[in-house]
Amino acid sequence: MDFEYSDSEVAFREEVRNFLRENLPPKAERDRNFLSTWLAEVRARGWVGFSWPKQFGGSDGGLIEQTILKEEMALAKAPPLGSSFMGLAWVGPGIMQYGTQAQKERFIPDILDSKVTWCTGYSEPNHGSDLASIQCKAVRDGDHYVVNGQKTWTSGASWSDWIILLTRTRFDADAKHQGITCLLVPMDAEGLEVRPIENMAGDRHFAEVFFTDVKVPVDQRLGAEGEGWSVTVSALANERSSIGEVTAMFGKLDTLKELVRSTTKQGKPATQDLKTRRTLAMFEAKIAAMKYNGLRYLTKQINGEPLTSETSVNKLHRASLEIEMDDFAVELCGQAGLQLPGGDNAIHNGRWAKASLSWPNVVIGGGTPNIQRNIIAERLLGLPKD
């Protein structure tokens, strides 16, 4: 791989950096209007849906520029480039690929303009890893589907406007991934109830969502009836090279190094402790490995090759590394490290204690480590099926 950037890529990076210098004030100086101004500014620049085709309101941006954009945003710890992470990551791409013209016109501009937030109703109480077995039922009744069932762990359900919902429309299909249908449902639909779930760190980011005779017009079905599995698989495949996450992890490592510099261990600066130094070096090496893996994925994409199971390697790697880094920080700080935000002696406002209790976000969300290991073993290494 050629690690050099072209002149226009270097110029683009400079443009992003200049923009950040001028438009991203330090956190303490941001007022109540900051976020809406930020979202409007990045939209005006064409950086929301940067790689989406122009015909849908995107910028047709190239892969390398997109990576530069993600890198610089992560380096600057900037807010997201849009209010709906899921809308941009998979709902929008799914609608562009499978939606009707009317759906594209109705939903895409609002995602790009940060007017609506989407959540994802895939997992059910007994069907997470084994997603193809979902049971939430949709029965066709004239020009509507009537939905009954339950979803769980639905991130952002309490504040989202719409949900992309997987339902079962056939119970007698030969294979379980057949007979699944994808519906787009407003969160204020009659019969839809959201019950927030509190996680270990005290946050209420996800929820259970109950559907009782919820009527969904047929024109809010995404893709053909029974084709919901393909819609989901190809939509989720839009989540890509992990370069943005890698940059954020380098940022987190920098904060960890600061923490080490300000800590003593057995009466001496922690920077002189051999084990501490080795651990930091190991973190750095592991993040670098993720970076080069991410660049390998990027090279494949630039060469027009689709990415498939290989992205499980970085997902798995990141899951264990995030836990190791958070636990290291908590241990380094001793008792104060265990204090959550608001605690009397909380270090970095309880960031590390909170992070170490929030590990399911990166470890389980999007597929558990066991599932990633199965994918790597079976599809990448060709080992026998589990």
- Binding residues for ligand FAD, rule: CB under 6 A, are 119-123, 128-129, 153-155, 206, 360-361, 364-365, 367-368, 370-371, 374, 386
Count of other CB atoms within 10 angstroms of residue 319: 21
- Minimum Å gap between C-beta 211 and ligand FAD is 14
Q: State whether residue 367 is helix, strand or coil.
A: coil
As a whole number of Å, the CA-based R_g of the chain is 22
Q: Which is nearer to ligand FAD, 47 or 122 (CB)?
A: 122
Q: Which is nearer to ligand FAD, 200 or 281 (CB)?
A: 200
Amino acid at 81: L
d(CA 280, CA 261): 12
Backbone angles phi, psi at 138, to 5 degrees: -125, 120
Residues whose CB falls within 8 Å of the CB of residue 365, separated by 6 or more in sequence, listed in order? 153, 155
- Minimum Å gap between C-beta 332 and ligand FAD is 25
- Minimum Å gap between C-beta 316 and ligand FAD is 11
- Minimum Å gap between C-beta 130 and ligand FAD is 6
Closest alpha carbon to 88 in 65, 70, 64, 72: 70
Which residue blocks in the chain are alpha helix, DSSP H? Answer: 7-23, 34-44, 63-75, 85-86, 92-98, 101-112, 228-236, 243-261, 274-302, 311-332, 351-357, 360-363, 369-375
Q: Which is nearer to ligand FAD, 157 or 280 (CB)?
A: 157
Q: Which is nearer to ligand FAD, 129 or 262 (CB)?
A: 129
Query: Do the strands 118-121 and 162-168 form a parallel or antiparallel pair, or are they unpaired?
Result: parallel
Amino acid at 70: K
Q: Where are the beta strands (DSSP E) in 54-126?
A: 118-121
Query: Cα separations (Å) of 12 from 60, 74, 78, 121, 298?
Result: 14, 16, 17, 37, 18
Q: Which residue is at the shortest CB distance from ligand FAD?
A: 128
- Minimum Å gap between C-beta 2 and ligand FAD is 37
Q: Which is nearer to ligand FAD, 99 or 121 (CB)?
A: 121
Q: Which is nearer to ligand FAD, 119 or 182 (CB)?
A: 119
Annotate 214-270 with three-state secondary structure: EEEEHHHEECCCCEHHHHHHHHHCCCCCCHHHHHHHHHHHHHHHHHHHCCEECCEEH
d(CA 193, CA 289): 44
In contact, 222 and 99? CB cutoff 8 Å: yes
Q: Which is nearer to ligand FAD, 67 or 150 (CB)?
A: 150
Q: State whether residue 123 is helix, strand or coil.
A: coil
CA end-to-end span of the chain, whole Å? 35
Q: Which is nearer to ligand FAD, 249 or 270 (CB)?
A: 249
Summary count for the chain: helices (H), strands (E): 13, 10
- Minimum Å gap between C-beta 368 and ligand FAD is 3
Q: Which is nearer to ligand FAD, 59 or 123 (CB)?
A: 123
- Minimum Å gap between C-beta 226 and ligand FAD is 20
- Minimum Å gap between C-beta 375 and ligand FAD is 10
- Minimum Å gap between C-beta 199 and ligand FAD is 7
- Minimum Å gap between C-beta 128 and ligand FAD is 2
Q: Which is nearer to ligand FAD, 353 or 362 (CB)?
A: 362
338 DSSP 8-state letter: G
